[in-house]
Amino acid sequence: MNNSADQIIIEQLTSLSLKDAEAIRRLVSQLGSEFQPLGDKDLKEMLKSPTTYLLVARQSKTQKIVGMATLAVYRIPYAKKAYFDDFIIEEAYQGQGIGSLLLEKVLAKAAELGATYIDFTSTPTRLAANKLYEKFGFTKRDTNVYRLTF
């Protein structure tokens, strides 16, 4: 079966089927060691949020979700800011242009919502992903990333 990007639909997920919830959980579990299981309540909270958008890459024929990204757009004092996270394409579908399609949709959505800029972080070991970001014109910032876990 040919899994090329021309058989992929990029869409914002606005409702939650059991099959879609399972696909999101499967993808999130591939993001790394900080994975925390997502309950239906967590997923529904994301979908209801007025500032969070869950974008998915879905095979047009099977309706299977094979990629995802989360976009948050919110106001800070001097700008409307966008941040994207949890950007992942299922391993079997990587290298087929699906990541580019999904990233294009993320950027278009952020611009549509009036964001002044978009930020994100990426692990240096994700070589293909980092190459994709640079291809799209992203530049590395000279900053420290801090975290306080509750």
> Per-residue pLDDT tens for 117-126?
999 988 888 8
Other C-beta atoms lying within 10 Å of the C-beta of residue 141: 9
Q: What 8-state DSSP symbol labels residue 146?
A: -
Tell me the per-residue pLDDT of 19-61, one tens digit each, with 9 for 90 and over: 999 999 999 888 876 767 788 899 999 999 999 999 999 999 9
**Residue type at position 34:** E
Strand locations in the chain (E): 8-12, 52-59, 65-76, 79-89, 117-119
- CA dist 80 and 63 (Å) reads 33
Structure token digits, residue 146: 């801090």
- CA dist 37 and 29 (Å) reads 8
Instruction: Give rounded-to-5 percent helix, strand, coil for the chain.
Output: 35, 25, 40
Q: Tell how far CA 89 is from the center of its chain.
A: 9
- Global pTM reads 0.89
Per-residue pLDDT averaged across 3-13, rounded?
85
Sequence length of the chain is: 150
Tell me the per-residue pLDDT of 71-101, one tens digit each, with 9 for 90 and over: 999 999 999 999 999 999 999 999 999 999 9
Per-residue pLDDT averaged across 1-10, rounded?
74
Q: Is 23 helix (H, G, I), strand (E, B) or coil?
A: helix
